[in-house]
Amino acid sequence: MTVKFSGELNDKMKGFYRSKYFSATGEERYAGVTQFEATDARRCFPCWDEPAIKATFDITLDVPQNLVALSNMPVLEQKPNATDSTVLVTFDRTPIMSTYLVAVVVGEYDYVEDTSADGVLVRVYTPVGKREQGRFALDVATKVLPYYKDYFNIAYPLPKMDLIAISDFSAGAMENWGLITYRETFVLVDPENTSLIRKQSIALTVGHEIAHQWFGNLVTMEWWTHLWLNEGYASFVEFLCVDHLFPDYDIWTQFVTDMYTRALELDCLRNSHPIEVPVGHPSEIDEIFDEISYNKGASVIRMLHHYIGDEDFKRGMNLYLTRHQYSNTRTEDLWNALQEASSKPVGAVMSTWIQRMGFPVVQVLSSRQLDGNRRLLSIAQSKFCADGCEAPEQSLWLIPINISTPSSASAVSTVLEASTAEITVEGVGEQDWVKINPGTIGYYRTQYPAEMLEQFLPAIKNMTLPPLDRLGLIDDLFALVQAGKSATVDALKVIDAYRNESNYTVWSSISNCLAKLQLLLAHTPAEKQFGEYGVRLYQPVAEKLGWDVKPGESHLDTLLRSLVLGRLVSFGCKKTLAEAKRR
C-alpha cells in the first residue's frame, strides 16, 4: 500500500517541527527536528502509532546541499538532484521498531566523533562553532556503550550512535534509536562556564538515554500503562553507569537526595498515583511522565536490585532482554525473568509497590534488651500520610527489611508480610544503636522511639554511622515532624549532632529540612533565633571549606561549598554576606 500525503513543518515541538536558532552572525534560522514520543509520529506520516505495532523503516530525505541530514540509521547513499541544489539522502533500513522512536534531523551542525571499545561509531552533533562542547558527552557515550554491553551481555544492535543538541526542544532528551536528541543544556559542556552539578547531570542524562537503547528500544513496553518500566528502569541504570565511570562522584549517595527522598515527598500526598497507571486515551500519557514514574520507579528497582543481589539481577536482565528482543512486554514479564534468575518471589513482593500508591512507615513499637547481647524489636507497618491522618484502608506491603548494628552491616534480612512482627537482633550491646533500613535502600520511612534515637547521637557526632544512614535518619525524622508524628524540638536536637558533618548529600538533606522550617518561621518572632541556629550549624563546615576551590579536593566538597555558603546567606550570616558582596 502506498499513501501520498503532505504535512506542515509545525512550531509545536511535536511531530516533525521547525526548531529556531541563531547563526554566529545573529541571523534567525531553522532546523527540522522530530519528537514523536508518545503519539506524534502520526503528525509526520500516516501510521499505526502504538508501541506494540512495530515495523522496519526506510527513510529518504530530499534536503538542501549545505545541511546535515540525520536519521536512526547510517546513510546508504547520497545523490545530488540534477534540477536544483538539493541532495537525495537515503538511509539504511532500521531494525523492527516502534513508531515513537523514529527520528529525523535536518540543519546546520558541527560534530566530534570517536569509536567505542566495542566498535560503535559515536558522534555528538553541536551548533556550528561549539564542536568542543560535545567532548564530555562523547567521552561518556563511548565508555557507556561497552559498559552496558557487558552488563546486559547483549551488544548494541545498531552500527552507529548519534547524540545531537537541539535548540528548541520540549523534553530534556529523547532516546530515539541511534539518534538521541537533547536540549542543548543537557548535552553541551563549556569547560569555562558549566558548573560541576550540571556536568554530573549531563553524565546521568547520557547514561539514561543510552540505557533506553536496550531497555525501551530493543524491548519495548506493550502499552503506555507500562511506561514506568522504561523510565524507572533507565533512571536506576543511569546511576549504575555513572558510578562505574566516575567513582569520585559518590553518585549512589546523591541518588537518595535527588531521586529517593523526592519520590517519598510526593508519594505520601493524597494526590499521588500508583507507579503503574492504566492509560486509555493518548492525552493521558503526558500525565504519567512524572517523578512517580521516574523517581519512585527507580527507587523500587534499586530496592529490588538489593533484595535479589547484583549477579541475579544481571542474569535476570539478560534473560528478559534476550527473550523479548524486538518485541513488547508487560511489567509481569520483567518480574518473571528476575524471579527465574533469583528464585525469590519477585512478582509477589513487587506488585504491592507498583500497583498501590503511597508507601509504609515501619514503626519500632518497643526495643527490649535480652541476655547475651541480643535485642528484641517489636515493629509494625502502616501507610505513611503527609498530613499525619490514619489511612482509611488497611494497606500491607511486602517489605524487604534489613537491620544493621555497629558490629554488623547486615545483622538481619527478612521480609515483613504482616502488620506487626517481632525480630531478634544478635550482637548488640545495651548502648549500641540498631538501624532499620541501612543504606536507605528500602522504599519506606522508619520511626524510632526516643531512647533508640538517643543511641544514634554519638555515632552521628563522630561520623561512625555511614553517610546514607546519617542522611536517612534525619530525612525520616523530619518527615515525621511534618506529619505531626514527632516534635520539631527533637528533630532540631538530632540535627545539632551533625555539626562535624562533612558529606555533601547529608548536608543537602539537612538543608532541605531546614528550608521548610525557615519558610514556616519567616516573619515571626522566632525567625531571628532560627537564623542564629542555622549560622551556628553551618559556620564550622563553611570555615573548613573556604570560598575557593582547593587543589585536589573531592567532587563532593566542591558541590558542598556552594550549598553551605548559599544557606549561610539565607540565614543572614553577616560575615558571609560581607564576603559575598566583596567578591
Question: Which grid coordinates are listed for 15?
Answer: 511531530
> What is the model's pLDDT at position 230?
87
Domain range summary for the chain, segments of one domain joined by +: 358-447, 450-582
Q: Which positions ≥6 away from 292 have C-beta within 8 Å?
A: 228, 263, 266, 267, 272, 273, 274, 275
pLDDT category, 277, cuts 50, 70, 90?
confident
- Residue 222 burial (C-beta neighbours within 10 Å; 0-12, 13-18, 19+): middle
| CATH code linked to domain 450-582 | 1.25.50.20
- Catalytic positions, please? 209
Percent of the chain with pLDDT over 70: 99
The Cα–Cα gap between 467 and 506 comes to 7
Higher per-residue pLDDT: 210 or 81: 210
231 marked among binding-site residues:
yes
Q: What are the tens digits of pLDDT across the range 447-460?
A: 999 889 999 999 99
> What is the model's pLDDT at position 206?
96
> What is the model's pLDDT at position 171?
86
Which range has the worst mean pLDDT, 311-320, 329-338, 551-560?
Answer: 551-560
Measured between alpha carbons, how far is residue 67 from residues 63, 107, 433 in Å? 7, 5, 65
> What is the model's pLDDT at position 38?
87
Measured between alpha carbons, how far is residue 48 from residues 96, 115, 116 in Å? 14, 36, 35
pLDDT category, 32, cuts 50, 70, 90?
very high
> What is the model's pLDDT at position 338?
96
Measured between alpha carbons, how far is residue 424 from residues 265, 369, 437 in Å? 31, 10, 15
Q: What are the tens digits of pLDDT across the range 8-28?
A: 999 999 999 999 998 888 899
Q: Does this model's pTM top 0.85?
A: yes
> What is the model's pLDDT at position 555?
85
> What is the model's pLDDT at position 328?
96
> What is the model's pLDDT at position 410?
82
| CATH code linked to domain 358-447 | 2.60.40.1910
555 marked among binding-site residues:
no
pLDDT at 394 over 80: no
Question: Which grid coordinates are listed for 125?
Answer: 552533533
How many CA atoms are closer than 13 Å to the CA of 410, on its beta-carbon side?
A: 7
Q: What is the mean pLDDT of residues 96-111?
A: 97
Question: Which grid coordinates are listed for 529?
Answer: 533565633
Whole-number mean pLDDT of the chain?
92
306 marked among binding-site residues:
no
Helix, strand or coil for residue 382? strand
> What is the model's pLDDT at position 397?
93
